[in-house]
Amino acid sequence: MEDELGSSESPSRCRALHERVAGIDVHEDMIKIGIRTPGHRAWTRTSEVLEYKTFYGVLQKMAADLREPGVTHVVMEAGGAHTEPVCYALAERDFTQVAMINPAHAKALKGHKTDARDAIRLAELFECGLLHGSYIPSAEPKEIRDLTRYRTKTVQARTSEV
């Protein structure tokens, strides 16, 4: 766990729809988390950046650590296989909403791109209601979708062999 940008307090740019939000930037071997909470003074927000490794036990601890400051909403960029373990670890906890956004929306974010700033920016946009999550199926429909996709691939492979 590493605090890269430290804790900073800034005036709110918009009216926060969600008081305690975490934005997650996922990579193959680590994730950066930007947590946005109410500041000590009126109309201010506090930002904090944390870093975790992507081992499943560490991800479960990360989900528990997010509950400590009272985070209720989590947003992350949908980036394929690397995001699935993070999503599963978050699903084990009782968050109000875990949202996966389209990577095209994340690439459109303005400003100098770093992992920490991306995580904070995701949280800022989500707390204002400017990002909307994609559909995340529950375990049973996801399993059926995966089996259907696997069957399609095997049929295509068989057809190309013939």
Q: How far, in Å, CA of 31 to CA of 139, rounded?
A: 24
pLDDT given for residue 4 in this prediction: 42
pLDDT value at residue 88 = 83
In the sheet that holds 97-101, the strands lie side by side as 7-11, 44-53, 30-38, 21-26, 73-77, 97-101
Tell me, yes or no, whether 144 lies in a domain: no
Residue 53 CB coordination number (10 Å): 12
Secondary structure (3-state) at 64: helix
- 91 CB-side CA count, 13 A: 12
The two three-digit tokens of residue 76, written as one number: 């992350």
Domain at 72, CATH number: 3.30.420.10
Q: For residue 10, what pLDDT is reported?
A: 58
Q: Is residue 152 part of a domain?
A: no
Q: Which residues of the chain have pLDDT under 50?
A: 1-6
Give the model's pLDDT for residue 3: 39
Domain-located, residue 109: yes
User: Residue 2: inside a domain, yes or no?
Assistant: no
In a domain, 154, yes or no: no
3-state secondary structure of 120: helix
Asked whether residue 62 is assigned to any structural domain, the reply reads: yes
102 lies in some domain: yes
Q: Which domain holds residue 55?
A: 7-136
What is the reported pLDDT for 110?
A: 62
* pTM recorded for the entire structure: 0.72
Question: Nearest-CA neighbor of 49 among 129, 125, 130, 123?
Answer: 123
Is residue 65, in this structure, part of any structural domain at all? yes
Q: Give the SS3 label for residue 87.
A: helix
Domain count within the chain: 1
pLDDT score at 125: 86
Q: What is the pLDDT of residue 132?
A: 76
Eight-class DSSP state of 18: S
pLDDT of residue 1: 40
